[in-house]
């Protein structure tokens, strides 16, 4: 396979396996967020946006001949099965931060592949193997939004009904920082939103019930 006409999540994961990279290393190589790589693993049929297609083209085209041969092998029907069992595909856990400041909570507007192309979510990030979920919550919130926060309590965990990813949810308190979009490739905006307005941006049936309960608490 000398040319990939259209990259899918499966093709991207195959390239990752050919490079023998972890999710973290592959995301860093592409200059994207780990959650994007994780999405490719959970939804192999997804077709990345045009700018992602270009990034994948560049990595593939600059790969060594050995990597490209390995990619061609893994892309075959026999190789597809090999990717499914590859050590590069790691169980995915995501930490989700519900950051409260008085009567507001912090949301990010992500670029997405749904009809609108935009999705409002709470800040979230991949929990690295061996790392504490609480640490990932604080770190990823700062990296993504520029906001310093502290974990107040664990709100529970679940398999996300849309992505199928294992999510751990944490109620956090605002400490400092100006909210800003620090991940312009993945996000469109970062905003403080009134707690009572969250369900106008995120359908209530997609919000983990303990989050709704936490948002109803007095500031």
Q: What is the pLDDT of residues 3-26, one digit of tens each?
A: 788 898 888 999 999 999 988 889
Alpha helices, DSSP H only, in the chain? 9-19, 23-30, 34-42, 50-61, 65-75, 77-84, 133-145, 198-201, 209-215
63 contact partners, CB below 8 Å, separation of at least 6: 15, 18, 19, 71
Q: What is the pLDDT of residues 98-118, one digit of tens each?
A: 999 999 999 999 876 544 557
Q: pTM of whole model > 0.75?
A: no
> Which residues are registered as beta bridge partners of 159?
166
> Which residues are registered as beta bridge partners of 95?
125, 168
Q: Rounded to 5 degrees, what angle do the CA atoms 2, 6, 9 make?
A: 105
Q: Rounded to 5 degrees, what angle do the CA atoms 36, 41, 44 make?
A: 100
Whether residue 86 contacts residue 21, with contact meaning beta carbons closer than 8 Å, is answered with no
Q: What is the pLDDT of residues 45-90, one digit of tens each?
A: 788 888 888 999 999 999 998 898 888 888 875 444 444 444 444 4
């Amino acid at each position: 396979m000398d040319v990939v006409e259209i990259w899918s999540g499966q093709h991207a994961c195959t390239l990752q396996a050919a490079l023998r990279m972890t999710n973290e290393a592959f995301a860093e190589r592409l200059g994207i967020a780990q959650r994007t790589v994780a999405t490719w693993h959970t939804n192999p049929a997804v077709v990345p946006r045009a700018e992602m297609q270009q990034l994948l083209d560049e990595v593939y085209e600059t790969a060594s001949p050995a990597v490209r041969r390995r990619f061609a092998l893994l892309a075959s029907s026999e190789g597809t099965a090999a990717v499914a069992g590859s050590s590069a595909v790691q169980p995915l856990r995501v930490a989700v931060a519900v950051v409260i400041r008085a009567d507001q909570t912090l949301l990010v507007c992500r670029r997405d592949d749904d009809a609108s192309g935009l999705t409002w979510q709470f800040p979230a990030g991949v929990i690295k193997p061996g790392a504490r979920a609480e640490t990932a919550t604080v770190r990823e919130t700062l990296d993504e939004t520029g906001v310093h926060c502290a974990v107040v309590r664990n709100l529970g965990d679940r398999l996300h009904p849309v992505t199928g990813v294992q999510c751990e949810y944490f109620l956090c308190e605002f400490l400092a920082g100006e909210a800003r979009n620090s991940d312009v490739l993945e996000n469109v905006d970062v905003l403080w939103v009134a707690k009572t307005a969250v369900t106008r941006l995120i359908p209530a049936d997609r919000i983990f019930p303990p989050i709704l309960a936490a948002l109803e608490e007095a500031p």
